[in-house]
Copies of this chain bind each other. A is one copy, B any other.
Amino acid sequence: MNSHPFDAAVALQVQVDGTFLGRTSAAYANMVGPFGGITAAQALNAVLQHPQRLGDPISLTVNFAAALADGPFTVSARPARTNRSTQHWVIEMQQSGETVLTGTAFFGLRRETWGADENTMPEVPVPADVLRATGPARVEWVKRYEMRFAEGAIPAEWNGADQGASRTRLWLRDDPPRPLDFASLTGLSDVFFPRIWRRRPLLVPIGTVSMTVYYHADASLLQSTGSGYLLGQTQAQAFRNGYFDQTAQLWNEAGELLVTTHQVVYYKE
């Protein structure tokens, strides 16, 4: 599957100083700079590929400090603390000597325990019964994902009328389908269009400033999910004076909760 555009986009090359060299991908271009989900996946990938890596990701926070310019970037991943079965990472991405992303990650070895999914998958029609979103894509990265909106699609009319709520539910997966891994799950965590456009349909300028992903899926759950659809649900909690947050969940078709994620987004109006 090395020919999949996602694999090409997140590929990193280790440098003599231990940092990694990557390159923005035209296939995942956004309005200004790349799709944040692919940048987050590249940041995580620096830890995943690091020779000192212990265990699998439990949490990741990335902060988007500036829009990336098209071209190369470097990522450094430093294991700030390694315990017996857990590890804390500090991540930084640079272009032309300037920081464009900061981040931290927590990795761990998991043991089997009692468990439960408390936020259970909402009832929606199966993917085959939900129309695939089509039409002219404003930005290139959107074409890399199959999206089937069960609730709260991108507004058809940008009339600015307060909708009272911002919830969206959709089936989604990579296009072409690709077996899920931690990097692609990170990208999928950022697929949701900004909640301000849903709550109050106006195409105001926006930009995610910080995003956190909690990985409830372990390697075996990724494997059993494979290249199936994920159900994504997202909603904002507050919009105030230039910033709003949005929370999201991703379940697999079997209803297992793989990810909970949160982000805070700048908006202008």
Given contacts A80-B92, A118-B236, contact A61 B210 (CB under 8 A): yes
From B86, B218, B268, contact of A241 by CB (8 A): B218
Instruction: Fill in one digit per residue for A102-113: 1 if any B CB lies within 8 Å of its CB, else 0.
Output: 111010101111
Complex interface: chain B residues within 8 A of A200 (CB): 114
CB distance from A19 to the nearest CB of B (A): 15
A156 CB-CB contact with B under 8 Å: no
Question: B245–A214 contact, CB under 8 A?
Answer: yes
A170 CB-CB contact with B under 8 Å: no
A114 vs B102: C-alpha distance when bound (angstroms):
29
Complex interface: chain B residues within 8 A of A92 (CB): 80, 90
- Tell me what chain A mostly uses at the interface: helix, strand, loop, or mixed: strand
A129 CB-CB contact with B under 8 Å: no
A243 vs B113: C-alpha distance when bound (angstroms):
9
| Residue in B closest to A58 when the chains form the complex, CB atoms | B243
Question: B262–A212 contact, CB under 8 A?
Answer: yes
Instruction: Fill in one digit per residue for A249-269: 1 if any B CB lies within 8 Å of its CB, else 0.
Output: 100000001001010101111
A81 vs B101: C-alpha distance when bound (angstroms):
9
Question: B83–A66 contact, CB under 8 A?
Answer: yes
Given contacts A115-B241, A239-B115, contact A61 B212 (CB under 8 A): yes
Complex interface: chain B residues within 8 A of A143 (CB): none
A119 CB-CB contact with B under 8 Å: yes
Question: A238–B260 contact, CB under 8 A?
Answer: yes
Which residues of A approach B to under 8 Å, CB–CB? 58-59, 61, 63, 65-66, 80-81, 83, 86, 88-90, 92, 98-100, 102-104, 106, 108, 110-119, 162, 165-166, 199-200, 209-210, 212, 214, 216, 218, 235-243, 245, 247, 249, 257, 260, 262, 264, 266-269
